[in-house]
Structure 1
């Protein structure tokens, strides 16, 4: 099945939305403490408290509401869920720009997680509209757009804050996102039926991934069907561990680099090393997506997880900045494969009637790793030292590989050999 010009245009629009969302979120996040100080949030301790609450607020509300939006998208329209997510993000950013107190800012950050969610909406759209043989590469393209936003957001955000301040940055991001939402409403192909004469997941889905649901269950049923699936349940658990490792190490990265480089240049090196990780994701996302269309995704997941785990462990080897630049680049390249491959398997295990709610439920479960990871990283670093965080988390990453099942093709061949072996024994 060849991709149509209409689908290519839709993919470009989705990629633009993912880029804007990612750049907008990462553009403001580093400057939240400064913004709160402008509001006279109180003592430095109170500023830190409100910063922590504001940073974690979107993840909490997102985890609670993303399955609800997925269910609505299954019943209504996945195009309008994309538009809704962009409008929700734009309005939340605008409200944050009008916030006068830390509590108001915190509430609007909750709204950001509750009413945004372009990642889920675009993934569900891809699952229902992408040609069967292009679904992996389409997800890779979206991940590449997100990685580009992660790279560009802090750079553009710092420039805007330096020139105009934090509030204009929020208003500018809101205006751009709202304009893109209007463009998506006008140009994004809905194609609930026209772009797919049959459910493409039924065309390409391996037998081992067949959905164990008729698509009519509620949100609770979506969670149960994911976790009870013999293959998808293990992949989702692996995804939670991947997220846990990522956020545990990210939380401790700045103090760890400062410990390695005790000088005024440490801040510059932190920015450089974080950027190298984003460059790795930018280079790897599309490559892994295309590879998932050609090779068994489970094998790709094991290969990427192995490389990522080794890179996390390599952080604990103090060989200098040049060493960390290479390690961060390779880690970003490998990490870009992990969550998109898990999501691809969820898409392939879903029917068109429950794809959105299962994607939402998956991302809700993955949020557990994002919420637990920072606390665990701080705890391990406090007990055994900062380098121990990377040793422990590297081992956790490698242990997660044991959760990844054999590829469906390999399992099928093994099953075909069993009768032959029993016959020979007989």
Structure 2
């Protein structure tokens, strides 16, 4: 088997274990915060939000640094750093005695992040360019699958053994990720950037054919994560509003929350092949148009079946957008700055993780639940217009 195919399979499992590890903790953080002594009903959501957000904020700040190191030291080394660092920090979270210790470790966890963007960069650098969209889409299914299964596994462990055991299991899975990376992933043909040749931030921008398009793609990454997170704070409440007499509201809400991930898992690889044939740009534009239409339609639903069906269709757009963005980043960059650009892109992804829930909560407080869907549609529409303009501007540039 060709080395890039072995890498692709190994990285898929690495991303799967990473997605599984991170997602199985997040749904139970408020319960863990409460267990650590924060019982006031006003302080509990505040602390939960701070502890959730600090990881992404720190990650957004340091991701360009890890991307720069990846260009000079190698992506595999960054994968090993992220897997071992996150594993150790999450292991320590099982033994905290107060909420301040947990907050500090979650901030430290942000410093150790970066497995998935470096995995994507390694795949992008080694697969044949004509198969890049398919390869990146395939890797993304590993993360998606892990994110879907994580809360289920974490819930079972928390119910059977306890909340602290979830952190120990997560650390164990990241240890598996470390060994998969160490023994199975090979980084061939890597030429490290020498100190004198390492580009500054301005030089990175000057090396690009169209910086405006690159910033538009970064913003697209933020918007994609914002779409996923904007409805999270209000989804259960909106489902209860649609079905006030239903007793198993938690189960229905959980299914409606998870169903886009299932659709994305089923469609990502196939849409990646289509993107390789017709172009990632066309796939991205079409998926964004579909996203705008679906969010507008979701604001008008009258029952949970309509909401679930529309969110299932949204999963097809989710499965197409992020791999298309990454394929376009690869296409319009060069090997000397690929790691740096993927690091910048990851920063925007983390910012989207923070901005989405904040916007959703603020809009619902002012205008109600249905306005959250409309506001999200407007943000996607703005990004769609921006992408179209920057793409046409690129076409007018001299080749």
TM-score between the two structures when normalised by the length of structure 2 = 0.91
Q: Which residue of 2 aligns with 1:236?
A: 218
Shift, 1:176, TM fit: 2.1
Q: Secondary structure at the match of 1:44?
A: coil
| Counterpart Cα distance in 2 of 1:88 and 1:236 | 26
1:187/1:298 CA distance change after superposition, 3 Å:
same
| Counterpart Cα distance in 2 of 1:376 and 1:415 | 36
Q: Which residue of 1 aligns with 2:368?
A: 385
Q: Which residue of 2 aligns with 1:25?
A: 22
| Superposed CA offset, 1:198-229 (max 9, x none) | xxxxxxxxxxxxxxxx9732346547877961
Q: Which residue of 2 aligns with 1:248?
A: 230
Matched, 1:86 2:83: yes
Matched, 1:191 2:173: no
Structure 2: where are the runs of 5+ without partners? Answer: none
Aligned match for 2:107, one of 105, 110, 131: 110
Q: Which residue of 2 aligns with 1:218?
A: 200
| Counterpart Cα distance in 2 of 1:37 and 1:113 | 22
| Counterpart Cα distance in 1 of 2:353 and 2:206 | 21
| Superposed CA offset, 1:14-48 (max 9, x none) | 11111111111111111111112222234232222
Matched, 1:40 2:37: yes
Once structures 1 and 2 are overlaid, which stretch shifts more, 183-192 or 66-75? 183-192
Q: Give the 5 Å matches for 1:291-370.
A: 291-370=274-353
Q: Secondary structure at the match of 2:25?
A: helix
Shift, 1:347, TM fit: 1.6
1:71/1:175 CA distance change after superposition, 3 Å:
same
| Counterpart Cα distance in 2 of 1:355 and 1:107 | 31
| Superposed CA offset, 1:347-382 (max 9, x none) | 222221211111101221343333222222222111
| Superposed CA offset, 1:120-166 (max 9, x none) | 11011012111222211111011111111111011111111111111
Residue pair 1:231, 1:405 contacting (<8 A) in 2 also = no
Aligned residues: 393
1:377/1:183 CA distance change after superposition, 3 Å:
closer
Q: Which residue of 2 aligns with 1:123?
A: 120
Matched, 1:60 2:73: no
| Counterpart Cα distance in 1 of 2:329 and 2:264 | 21
Q: Which residue of 1 aligns with 2:256?
A: 273
Shift, 1:67, TM fit: 0.8
| Superposed CA offset, 1:303-335 (max 9, x none) | 111111211112112331221221111101112
* Greater Rg over alpha carbons, structure: 1
Shift, 1:411, TM fit: 7.6
| Counterpart Cα distance in 1 of 2:397 and 2:81 | 46
1:365/1:411 CA distance change after superposition, 3 Å:
closer
The RMSD of aligned alpha carbons is 2.6
Q: Secondary structure at the match of 1:231?
A: helix
Matched, 1:166 2:158: no
Once structures 1 and 2 are overlaid, which stretch shifts more, 399-408 or 7-16? 399-408
Q: Secondary structure at the match of 2:86?
A: helix
Shift, 1:409, TM fit: 11
| Counterpart Cα distance in 2 of 1:326 and 1:288 | 20
| Counterpart Cα distance in 2 of 1:132 and 1:409 | 23
Residue pair 2:242, 2:302 contacting (<8 A) in 1 also = no
Matched, 1:76 2:73: yes
Q: Which residue of 2 aligns with 1:424?
A: none
Structure 1: where are the runs of 5+ without partners? Answer: 195-213, 417-426
Residue pair 2:54, 2:110 contacting (<8 A) in 1 also = yes
1:216/1:228 CA distance change after superposition, 3 Å:
farther
Q: Which residue of 1 aligns with 2:2?
A: 5
| Superposed CA offset, 1:282-321 (max 9, x none) | 1122122222211121111111111112111121123312
Q: Secondary structure at the match of 1:313?
A: helix
